[in-house]
């Protein structure tokens, strides 16, 4: 796996996140290759060089067609190397063969401008990391925050931002470590509360069952409180707070005793995770009405 934040090895497991979801924010250049393909080996360093030069204007996704034959078949790959450019979930252009750098650059420039300006090192690293995340450069944001924390380990804002970035990538142990080093004052900040809320939800989540599985369980038995509870958590964890809150409030009405008032307690964690979202006030009032 590449150490560059702009180059990602793609498998069936991360295809949707990197290609389909990622291309909604940043163009994805997919390089279909195989170890036995000599032209692939000629093209690889050219693509890697341009990925670094464009500094996040596109992400290079490498797919080993021998290891990921199902993906290659689904996308109709018949020769190697084949390169496809994906923007907003759709293939907008492609080429085959080991093109020289000038031709690859011209191919990119038809669709992609040169990379964004490099962040000003004098800027607040938390703000710069937020900007990078908004551009779809989550790995670059993570790297910047880790470097900033190493340089300023007592900075609570950096620790909170790093913890939130870790949660977004599913690295919950590191996120908890970020929380543990906060001072009492920093621990009272809204961002710290949001981080605690998300980690509480991950603690309650049954990661052995995905959302589709618990939906199936609920369809088979509408009175399955555990499935309804897990569904609400999973909806909130993927960012659909409003639906997650509705699911958990529904559980409160149906089975208040489940999990020792687990639905209400989990709703509090959801509200914490939402931070200063204006929807939280009305949701809290709705929960209060259900309680009384």
CB atoms within 10 A of CB 203: 11
Residues 17 and 76 in one domain: yes
155 inside domain = yes
Residues 219 and 162 in one domain: no
Active site amino acids: 37, 40
Q: How many domains does the chain have?
A: 3
Which of 6-10, 84-88, 116-120 is least confident?
A: 116-120
pLDDT score, position 117: 46
pLDDT in tens, 92-125: 999 999 999 999 999 999 988 654 444 555 568 8
Average pLDDT, whole number, for the chain?
A: 90
User: pTM for this structure?
Assistant: 0.56
pLDDT at 25 over 90: no
The closest of 184, 277, 186, 185 to 162, measured between CA atoms, is: 186
| CATH number for the domain that contains residue 211 | 1.25.40.10
Residues 148 and 80 in one domain: no
Confidence at 218, pLDDT banded by 50, 70, 90: very high
Residues 87 and 175 in one domain: no
Cα→Cα distances 21→43, 72, 86, 167, 252, Å: 26, 19, 11, 17, 33
Q: Determine the 3-state secondary structure of 8 from DSSP.
A: strand
Locate 112 and state its tokens: 């992609």
Residues 182 and 133 in one domain: yes
For residue 215, what are the domain limits? 204-291
Confidence at 284, pLDDT banded by 50, 70, 90: very high
**What are the start-end ranges of the H helices in 152-261?**
156-168, 172-180, 190-204, 211-220, 225-237, 241-254
pLDDT score, position 122: 58
Close Cβ partners of 219 (under 8 Å, ≥ 6 residues apart): none
Angle at 269 between CA 267 and CA 271, to 5 degrees: 70
């Amino acid at each position: 796996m590449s150490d560059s934040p702009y180059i990602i090895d793609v498998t069936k497991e991360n295809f949707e996140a990197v290609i389909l979801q990622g291309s909604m924010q940043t163009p994805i250049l997919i390089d279909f290759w195989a170890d036995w393909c000599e032209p692939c080996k000629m093209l690889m360093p050219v693509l890697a060089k341009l990925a670094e030069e464009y500094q996040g204007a596109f992400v290079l996704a490498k797919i080993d067609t021998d290891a990921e034959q199902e993906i290659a078949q689904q996308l109709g790959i018949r020769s190697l190397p084949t390169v496809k450019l994906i923007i907003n979930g759709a293939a907008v252009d492609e080429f085959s063969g080991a093109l020289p750098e000038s031709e690859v650059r011209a191919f990119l420039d038809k669709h992609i401008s040169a990379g964004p300006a490099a962040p000003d090192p004098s800027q607040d690293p938390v703000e710069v990391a937020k900007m990078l995340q908004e551009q779809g450069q989550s790995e670059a944001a993570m790297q910047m925050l880790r470097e900033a924390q190493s340089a300023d380990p007592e900075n609570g804002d950096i620790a909170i931002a790093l913890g939130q970035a870790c949660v977004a990538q599913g690295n919950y142990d590191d996120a908890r470590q970020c929380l543990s080093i906060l001072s009492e004052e920093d621990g009272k900040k809204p961002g710290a509360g949001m981080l605690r809320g998300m980690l509480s939800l991950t603690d309650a989540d049954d990661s052995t069952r995905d959302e589709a599985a618990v939906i199936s369980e609920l369809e088979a038995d509408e009175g399955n409180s555990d499935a309804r509870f897990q569904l609400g958590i999973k909806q909130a964890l993927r960012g659909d707070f409003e639906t997650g809150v509705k699911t958990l409030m529904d559980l409160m009405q149906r089975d208040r005793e489940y999990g020792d008032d687990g639905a209400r307690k989990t709703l509090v964690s959801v509200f914490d995770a939402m931070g200063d979202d204006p929807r939280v006030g009305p949701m809290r009032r709705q929960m209060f009405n259900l309680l009384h």
